[in-house]
Amino acid sequence: MRLFIAIELPAELKRSLGRLQTDIPGARWVPAEQIHLTLAFLGEVEQGVVERLTGELARIHTSAFELSFSGAGCFPNRKRPRVIWIGLEPEPRLEELAARVNEAVLACDIPQEERPFSAHITLARLKFPASRESGAFLDQHQKENLPPLSVREFILFQSRLTPQGAVHTPIKNFALAASGDNN
């Protein structure tokens, strides 16, 4: 099965992010209910490995934390934008969680990208780089007034590719330790 690990967002926040959608040529906006913060993309994983993986992930006991939003940005750069995202203020506990998740995935011999984790929430993928319209969007959303995101768990998701687009199904939730608990 095709898997990824992510932080789910509250429905109200997903709706707020969904409302940022605007007309950018070639943009495929992530449906509001699917917007998430990816910690790791695993790709195809065999069933036997999934069981081992859930065991490894369950051993992660970093504490819960809050994230604050920054503004919109894009990958790889403003000249040729391919992915438009909303950013998050730096948070060491998010970096730590992503690092632990990465270790758990590697412990199951699932190859991972060499690229360092870069916290972002994808809003749209561009079929071609509409840099003028994208630039206007980025300028308009330099600072979004969104409520902080309380992270108390992370989720292993299945992603099924269908002609209508990807369908994400949660497989297992992993609770983080309440803030103040010892790791």
User: What residue ranges bind ligand 2AM (CB under 6 A)?
Assistant: 4, 38, 41, 122, 159
Would you say 82 or 177 has its CB closer to ligand 2AM?
A: 82
Would you say 22 or 159 has its CB closer to ligand 2AM?
A: 159
Q: Any catalytic annotation for residue 120?
A: yes
Give just the sign of the alpha carbon dihedral 92, 97, 102, 107: positive
User: Smallest distance from the beta carbon of 45 to ligand 2AM, in angstroms?
Assistant: 13
Per the document, the length of the chain is: 183
Task: Assess contact for 56 and 154: CB atoms under 8 A.
Answer: no
User: Smallest distance from the beta carbon of 139 to ligand 2AM, in angstroms?
Assistant: 22
Q: Which of 110, 111, 112, 7 is nearest to 53 (CA)?
A: 110
Would you say 100 or 120 has its CB closer to ligand 2AM?
A: 120
Q: Which of 30, 36, 40, 38 is nearest to 11 (CA)?
A: 36
Structure tokens at 120: 């972002």
User: Smallest distance from the beta carbon of 125 to ligand 2AM, in angstroms?
Assistant: 8
User: Smallest distance from the beta carbon of 4 to ligand 2AM, in angstroms?
Assistant: 4
Query: Distance (Å, rounded) from C-alpha 37 to C-alpha 155?
Result: 10
Q: Any catalytic annotation for residue 168?
A: no
Q: Which residues are catalytic?
A: 36, 120
